[in-house]
Amino acid sequence: MTTVAVLGGGSFGTAMANMIAANGHAVTLWMRDAEAAATTTASRRNSRYLPDYALEESLQISADLATAVNSAEVVFFAVPSKSLRQLASDVAPLLADRAGLVSMAKGVEADSFLLPSQIIEQELPNHNIAVISGPNLAAEICQRQITATVVASDSAPLCAQVQELIASDYFRVYANSDRFGVELAGALKNIYAIVAGVVAAMGMGQNSRAVMLTRSLAEMSRFAVQLGADPMTFLGLSGVGDLYVTCSSPLSRNYQVGFELGNGKGLDEAIAAVGQTAEGVNTTRLVVAKAAELGVYMPLANALAAILFEQRSIGSLLRDMMSAEQGHDVEFATPR
């Protein structure tokens, strides 16, 4: 039995904590809101995010951070990326030596352009760190539908430990040593999930969706190479796998925001209609600025930024894109 803390009571954090508890480990799910923690403990349901999902009786739920992490051997961070640095800082004096740290956040920090695991590394040095990313819609995990994810770390023992904690007969866990690439893929795909929602709302056909998906992958890998990631990582679960599911499923929050935009709502209206954090909005702003700095050609991301922040019409942007330069289909290939 491993002692585990999962920090963050959203849908994915709740699903992950419950899976680990079902595997026989001692798990505490930390929720920031004391009232929500008490209600969830009493009802054995996370009524806000997963109201139909019964929680394991062994799963502990607490709003006390010290109680959650004091004896934890592995700590999973499952909060939005904008809250991550403060939480990591709060955890630092409470954490046991040598605890393994696992980030499930998907986003980029403003100002620094650091990924979540890099933020954790700054605030909590001298710990092994891993990231989890992949096509992991929480609602489908709760239904025990066959799912797979990637755990990536420089530490092979931590990868193996995370695999043992969360793997089951319906949840596969593959390992990868490219932590940066896996995490970058998880952040970037949120941009294109919004684009996919716009495309769906406009009633575009399968040809159009196929173009959007493949050119999204091209932009992601093109950008990743400039930052030093391995483009081959983007052919795995954290790249094309996660991109596909978030660009095709109405369960994706970023897709939902795009769908509302495609139906004529403004950004604030779209976010309010979805009612949950959509990491892709902030990621779009930051990635477009970084791409301009690096000279990376990202027409889909630039078009989305113009819709989100400049109130450009979707129709005019489509016309611009259809008349843009037609480059190579596959830009990165393995040598023969």
Q: In CATH, what number is assigned to the domain containing residue 42?
A: 3.40.50.720
> Is residue 333 in some structural domain?
no
Residue 103 has pLDDT above 80, yes or no: yes
> Is residue 41 in some structural domain?
yes
Given 159, 177, 195, which residue is the final one in a domain? 177
Task: Using alpha carbons only, give the angle 167, 64, 140 rounded to the nearest 5 degrees.
Answer: 30
Same domain, 78 and 95: yes
- Domain extent, residue 12, equals 3-177
Same domain, 165 and 36: yes
Please give the DSSP secondary-structure letter assigned to residue 54.
Answer: P
Whole-number Cα distances in Å, 93 to 121, 124, 284: 14, 9, 34
- What distance in Å separates the CA atoms of residue 223 and residue 48, rounded to the nearest whole number? 36
- What distance in Å separates the CA atoms of residue 223 and residue 213, rounded to the nearest whole number? 16
> Is residue 298 in some structural domain?
yes
Provide the percentage of residues in the chain whose pLDDT is more than 90: 82
Same domain, 29 and 100: yes
Closest Cα to residue 153, out of 106, 100, 114, 113? 100
Same domain, 106 and 192: no
Structure tokens at 9: 């009571």
Tell me, yes or no, if 106 is annotated catalytic. no
Same domain, 238 and 315: yes
Q: Looking at 76-205, list the stretches that DSSP marks H as alpha helix, in order from N- to C-terminal side.
A: 81-91, 116-123, 138-142, 156-166, 179-201
**Residues sharing a CB contact under 8 Å with residue 180, sequence separation 6 or more, in sequence order:** 115, 227, 228, 229
Structure tokens at 195: 């684009």
pLDDT tens sequence across 36-47: 999 999 999 999
User: From the candidates 106, 189, 265, 290, which is the catalytic residue?
Assistant: 189
- What distance in Å separates the CA atoms of residue 176 and residue 299, rounded to the nearest whole number? 30
Given 177, 199, 231, which residue is the final one in a domain? 177
- What distance in Å separates the CA atoms of residue 127 and residue 212, rounded to the nearest whole number? 39
Same domain, 110 and 193: no
Please give the DSSP secondary-structure letter assigned to residue 126.
Answer: T
Same domain, 171 and 189: no
For the question of whether the overall pTM of this predicted structure is more than 0.85, the answer is: yes
pLDDT tens sequence across 139-198: 999 999 999 999 999 999 999 999 999 999 999 999 999 999 999 999 999 999 999 999
